Structure 1
Amino acid sequence: MEIQTQYHGVQVISNEEIIDFPNGLPGFVDETAFVMLPLPENEVFQILQSCQTPSLAFVVTNPFHYFTDYDFALEENTLHSLHIKTEKDVLVYTILTVETPFERTTANLQGPIIVNVRTRKGKQVILSDDKYKTKHALFQEQANVKE
């Protein structure tokens, strides 16, 4: 099927590439079908693109690449709703707020995106651990640089 995207123009995707978010995303409850699109010449960042709304796309990354001590446990209802049986089923992404300059970009560690790679089901979970916020400096050494 063809979809119009925010950053990649028209893309042809297969049904097997679609990630089903049965409850949508917080703030976007009607957006239930997304696809992960790579950024050319970049293996670290991807685009989580809505299949329904071309202008709805999030820049995401694997949070463990930048935050090696990031750790949380999924609640039982999340494991059940996503049909997660083992850790190998799970991919974790964090949504980025891209800033200019890029070194000021932040990551939402409070609301990770959880995807079951086996069933292609996803969910954004909201962590109750108060050490995680919606805006963590992606580049720690740049966090203290003044304008």
Structure 2
Amino acid sequence: MNIETKYQGTVEINDENIITFSKGIPAFEEEKQFVLLPLEEGTPFFVLQSTATTDVAFIVLNPFEVVSNYQIKLPDATLEMLEIEKEEDVATFVVLTVKEPFAETTANLQGPIIINVNKQKGKQLLLSDTDYQTKHPIFKEAALQTTKEGK
């Protein structure tokens, strides 16, 4: 099936790659089906693209790649809803707020997107009991990690 995407024009996708968000994503509750597409070859960024609405697309990133101590505990209701049986079933992403210049881009660590990669089911969690920010600067953390590791 072909879909129109916000960043990559017309893209052919496999029905098996469609991720269903049964309750949508907060503020986009009517959007139930998305596909995860690489933003650009060789980068850690992805696009969570609605299959129905071209303009509904989020730049996302695996938070564990940029925030060394990022941890979340999935509530039992989420495990049940997404039919998660083991840790390997889970992919976690955070939505980025892309800024100009790009080095000032931030990540919403309070609202991770959880995907059961085997069942293609997703949900955005809204963490309330946390010190994580909605506008976490991702490049400052990455620069600090690189400096500490001596790279």
The verdict on a shared fold, with TM-score over 0.5 as the criterion, is yes
Moved more, 35-44 or 7-16: 35-44
**Would you say the 8 A contact 1:104–1:142 is kept in 2?**
no
- Percent identity over the alignment is 50
Counterpart for residue 121 of structure 1: 121
CA apart distance, 1:142 = 9.3
CA apart distance, 1:141 = 6.0
1:7-18 map, 5 Å: 7-18=7-18
Counterpart for residue 59 of structure 1: 59
- Establish whether residue 110 from structure 1 lines up as the match of residue 110 from structure 2: yes
Q: Unpaired segments of 5 or more residues in structure 1?
A: none
Counterpart for residue 79 of structure 1: 79
SS at match of 2:85: coil
More helix by share: 2
**Would you say the 8 A contact 1:20–1:122 is kept in 2?**
yes
**Would you say the 8 A contact 1:103–1:142 is kept in 2?**
no
**Would you say the 8 A contact 2:66–2:142 is kept in 1?**
no
CA-based RMSD: 1.4
**Would you say the 8 A contact 2:66–2:141 is kept in 1?**
no
Counterpart for residue 19 of structure 2: 19
The TM-score, its normalising length taken from structure 2, stands at 0.91
Counterpart for residue 133 of structure 2: 133
Per-residue CA deviation, residues 51-82 of structure 1 (Å, 9 max, x unaligned), is 01001111000000000100110100000000
Counterpart for residue 50 of structure 1: 50
Residues paired across the two proteins, number: 143
The TM-score, its normalising length taken from structure 1, stands at 0.93
- In 1, Cα distance between equivalents of 2:125 and 2:11: 28
Closer, same or farther: CA 98–83 of 1 in aligned 2, 3 Å: same
CA apart distance, 1:129 = 2.4
CA apart distance, 1:43 = 3.4
- Establish whether residue 96 from structure 1 lines up as the match of residue 70 from structure 2: no
